[in-house]
Structures are given as C-alpha cells and as structure tokens.
Structure 1
Amino acid sequence: MNKKSFSTPVIACTTSLLLAGTSQLAQATEGGLSSWPMGIEIYGMGILPPPGTYGQVFVGNYLADSLRDNAGDKAADIDLRATTIVPRFIWVTEQQVLGGNLGFHALLPLNDIRLNVKNGPHDHKRGIGDAHFGPVVGFHHSDKFHTAVGVDFVAPTGSYDKDDLINLGNNYYTVQAVYAMTYTDPNGFNADVRLMHDYNFENRDTHYQSGRELHADYTLGWGLGNGWVMGVGGHAYQQISDDKCSASNCASAALVDANDGNRGRSFSIGPAVQYSGNGWFISAKWQDESGVRNRAEGQTYWVKFTMPL
C-alpha cells in the first residue's frame, strides 16, 4: 500500500459529540450518553494507512425529537441539535507489532449543542469537548481484507457542571477496546464492521458510574470502479451492565434500580457514500435510529474528509 491507495483509517475517533444531560431527561449511562458517537465510521474502518502523518476532519449533526424510556415509549418531547467539527491528527509509524504497523491518533472536538424540552427548560453550550487519543495496530491480510486492533482513551477536558441541563463533556474517563475488519473491492462488494467495548469510570461530581457498553458500526456497499462506493451503514448498540451510583444519598439510585439499571440500546441504518480522489477520501452518511431504549431517538448526518499531510 502507498499513500495514494489507503482508505479511511480505523483508529478510534471517539468524539464526545453529544450532550451530557441530567438523569431527569435521559437515562442509560449518565445523561443517556456515550463517549463514542454511534455510527460515525463509514467505509474503510479496518484499514490503517501506510506509515506517515495524516489529517482528518469530521463534520456531524445530530437531531432528536424524543426521549425513549425503558420500554421504548416516548418519555419526553425535545428539540436536540448537536453539531460538531472534529480535527484529528494521525501518525502511523514504521514500528511493527505482531506483524502489523503501529499508529497513534489524537483529536479534540468543537461542539455546539442546543436542547429545548417541550414545556420545560432549555440550554445552549458551545466549546471544546472531551479529548481522545490512543494506539492502534493495523494488519493487511490481502489486498482486499484488513483488520485493526486498538485502545482509545477519553479524557474529561470538556466543561461540566452537574447542575446544568447540558454539558460539553462527560466528566469521566473512558477506556474503549476496538477491533475492526474491512473487506474492500473498488469494483465490487465492500463490507466493514467495527466492534467496541467501553468501560466508563465514575463521575466524581455526581458519584454516578455508567455501565459497560458494547456496540458496532457497520457498512455494506458496492464499488463502482470509478472511485465511488455506494451502500448503507449505521450502528448497533447495547449496554451490557447496569449504571451505578455510589453515594448513599444519590438521587439517581432509585431511578436506576427501577429501570433495570438504565440499560440502553439502539440501532440505526441509512445511505452511505464514499469517493476516493488522488490520495484523499471524502465520505458521507445519513442514519435513522430505531429500537431505542433509555436514550434520545433521532437522525445523524456525517461528512468525513481524510488526506495525507
């Protein structure tokens, strides 16, 4: 592979893009949030580019009009708009680890979040979110089949106030394990899956610890032979352990117990497209959520641009 033939890299881009709300509005992990923006990755999830430095920019917009409870019923009407611009730096080294190339990445999202609750409060925040960084090792099994393994660390650099309706950061650390696979053919079938497991540490301001999360981004597509890939993509999400609140006077403890640990889930699907230029790539996606439990339900738009530096 050379710098003009790589696809979108796999390194985890766990951009903290969405709101950090209160337990009164959204359940399933604290504020109904995750460090990973579900479904952000599109094609080439399992391909690490050749040694070198790369720049990447994500532009996303999430729109939601309802909150879903533990049974999937509407719990509240809302108007949530979360817009983000995420510059990201990627460095792939010459160092080999178990036969694969070692790489690193770092990013810091710029967020603009608005939330209006019907017949209730509203809030607006703008600024930096939580920082993300981590290593990855990429393997090229053939010209068409690629895998990657990585670990991402999320640091609470975004502003946070437990009394605010929304926040720019989650105020806790997250460690995310990542395994991704890509099968790519410029003149045929393309398939990607990125499996992730999140361990969330306690929010020291609220003594609330969000449960462990298992989720996957996926795409299916067909290469047209002229640089274009057309298909569908989305995500599948399931929280696999209960939320907890360690403080003896935690107001959320009874709510967590009453809702089976506030375990969330969701699924999304929608059209996805990618175009490969002369050493650069641009991809776009729209996805609609369904089967949501204990989280906001909405639609997401993503555009991603990648190029060597």
Structure 2
Amino acid sequence: MSKKLIAAVFGCTMLAAGSMNEAQAFEGGVSPYPAGAVGTNIANLPPIPGLFALEQFNYTFANGLYGNDGKKLPIPFSLSAYSETTRLLVSYPFHLLGANVYTQLVIPVVSLHTSVFGQSSTQNGLSNITVTPALLEWHLTQNLAIASGLDFAFETGSYSPVKSSVAVGYTSIQPVVSVRYNVPNGIDVAVANRLLLNSKNGATNYRSGDGYVAEFSAGWNFGPWKLGVVGAYLNQFSDDKANGVSVGNRMKTFGIGPSVVYDARSWNVNVNYQQGLYAANTAKSSSVWLNIAIPLWPGFGRKG
C-alpha cells in the first residue's frame, strides 16, 4: 500500500507530537489511494472473459517527514510497512459502447511498524476495500488502448478516530482514465489519471481535500520480457477542512524507479522499485512491489 501506509504512520506522529501539525495533509496524513500501486497494469486488462486475480506484495520504508515546503522536519521518525493486496477482476463475455467490460474488487491487508521520538507502534488490519462496478476498455488500434472506470474506496477496514489506522474513515470516489500504447518487441508507454474526491468523515467532522494522481510506466518489450520504469505523482489540490474551516497544507509526492516484467501470456509477474524523490506534508517513502497476475477461471460465460 506504499504511500498510503506511510501516511497512516504520519497520522500517528500527529497524535504523538503537536509540533508536527505544520506537516499535516489529508486527515491524519492518509491518502485514500496508494499512489504507485498500479505498477505496469495500466490499461492492461485480460482480452477474454473469465475471473482473474492480481496478488500484490509490497514493502515500504521511510526515515523522514517533510513539511509544506518539501524540506525534512527535525523529527526522529522511521517506518516499515508490509501489505498484501488481492485484486479480483471479472471480465464479461459482452461489450458495452464498443468496449470490453470488467468489474473489480480490491482487498488490502496491512502491517505497519513505526517509531516516532523513540516510541514504537504497530498497527495491523484491513485497509479500505475498493469496488469498481464497471471498468471499460476500448482497443482503438492493435497497439492503442483506453480504459475508464469509477472506483469507490469505501469506509471500511481497521479505522479508529482516536489513533492511527491503516484505513481512512470516509468514502473516496475516484474516476480513472488510462491510456496505453504497446508494441510487441517494441515500446510500451502508459499513463493513468485518477481523481480523489473525498467525502467527510462523520466521526471527526473532518473533510480531506481532493487530489489528483498520475501513475505512469515506460519500457521496451523483448519477447516475454519488458524492462523499463514505473512511477507516480500525487497532488492534493484543495485544502482540508475541520468543522467546515480550511486548515491549509496539501500533500504532494513523487516517486520513480526500475521495473521488470515477465509475461507468460497465461500469467504475468512484475517486480518494481519506486524511490521517493519528493514529499510535502507527508513522509518520503520508497517501495518494493511484487505483482503476480493469474487466471482463476478463464473463459467462463463464453458461448459454445
């Protein structure tokens, strides 16, 4: 869960030290979406009907908190986070508006370990479950695809209004539009654009600002192998509000790193590392991802 998990720890630091209020963005410093999680799976959906799974294993670490100006704060802080996310994807045997049709369910489980001013803390549990009722993908040419959907990150999981959590206490609606240009034994470039439209937390009367996430990948195909880079940029573009009053400060992050993919057609493995290069009002995190895509029930619902 990458930056989301780190931000959750940041919320813990807020409780531990009032002096860090200057660096808060999103409620408790938690983004409702882990920027960088999509990896190389941008507009890259199964072309046949069936039930598919993407298992994502992540390790994230950070050793500093950064203020509104992007400079490191003089606060003793460290973090390590582990997550396992199951993404279940249903590919339907029909078309809508000329597009392939999918439904997605995302279930993340998180283990978070932090140290702030020498005080250690561990949080384990279920993060926010995300549902995509309808995800559409158009193949405009043999090499060009566009995908669009509406994600609902629900108010679920191990959330508490009085301590740091691995989930947020509100629902986030997230429209997504992705584009991919992929040539066999050639170039592969893709970008996913996501808005974070956040509702108010009824337990705290706090409303996190809205944001934009751009995730990207670029590489070159060598038969079943692909070498390249992946990364993500997060920009919170509206202020948080507490009891209807703006509290200012907006989160920004940027990370990028190398990626390796092996595509065996029936299954796919991606390993990538994303180095945190910039952070404002959150922790500067780096992450290692292992993504394994496998078919669970290929071809279901196919006629004949």
> Shorter-chain TM-score: which interval?
0.7 to 0.9
Structure 2 alignment gaps of length 5 or more: 297-304
Contact 2:195 2:213 in 1 (8 A): yes
Is 1:274–2:274 an aligned residue pair? no
Residue 306 of structure 1 pairs with residue 303 of structure 2: no
Counterpart CA distance in 1 for 2:82 and 2:166 is 11
1:31 aligns to what SS in structure 2? helix
Correspondence for 1:152 = 151
1:263 aligns with 2:250: yes
Structural mapping, 1:1-309, within 5 Å: 17-18=5-6, 20=8, 21-22=11-12, 23=14, 24=18, 25=20, 27-49=24-46, 50-75=48-73, 76-119=75-118, 121-134=119-132, 135-164=134-163, 166-225=164-223, 227-246=224-243, 257=247, 261-309=248-296
Residue 200 of structure 2 aligns to a residue whose secondary structure is coil
Q: Quick one: distance in 2 between partners of 1:14 and 1:182?
A: 23
The aligned residue for residue 302 of structure 2 is none
The CA distance in 2 between the partners of 1:54 and 1:153, in whole Å, is 20
Moved more, 18-27 or 230-239: 18-27
Q: Deviations over 1:283-302 (max 9, x none)?
A: 01101112211111020111
- Counterpart residue type for residue 242 of structure 1: D
Question: What fraction of aligned residue pairs are identical, expressed as a percent?
Answer: 29
Q: Which has the higher helix share?
A: 2
Cα distance change on mapping 1:303 and 1:280 into 2, 3 Å: same
Q: TM-score w.r.t. structure 2 length? A: 0.88
Q: Is the 8 A contact 2:138 2:145 kept in 1?
A: yes
What is the deviation of 1:28? Answer: 1.4
AA aligned opposite 1:266: T
Q: Is the 8 A contact 2:216 2:231 kept in 1?
A: yes
* Residues 244-291 of structure 1 deviation map (CA, whole Å, 9 limit, x = unaligned): 1116xxxxx6xx64xxx2111111111011100141000011011122
> 1:116 touches 1:123 (CA, 8 Å); kept in 2?
yes
Computed over aligned residues only, the root mean square deviation of the Cα atoms, in angstroms, reads 2.0
CA distance in 2, matches of 1:266, 1:240: 12
CA–CA distance in structure 2, aligned partners of residues 168 and 123 of structure 1: 12
Alignment: residue pair count: 284
Partners of 2:139 and 2:198 in 1: how far apart? Answer: 31
Kept after mapping to 2: 8 A contact 1:145/1:181: yes
Distance 2:270 2:51 in 1: 20
More strand by share: 2
Question: Is there any run of 5+ residues in structure 1 with no aligned partner, and where?
Answer: 1-12, 248-252
Provide Cα deviations, 1:109-146, integer angstroms capped at 9, x if missing partner. Answer: 11101111134x33211121111111200111122111
Cα deviation, residue 175, structure 1: 0.4
CA distance in 2 between partners of 1:44 and 1:237 (Å): 18
In structure 2, what is the Cα distance between the partners aligned to 1:19 and 1:185? Answer: 37
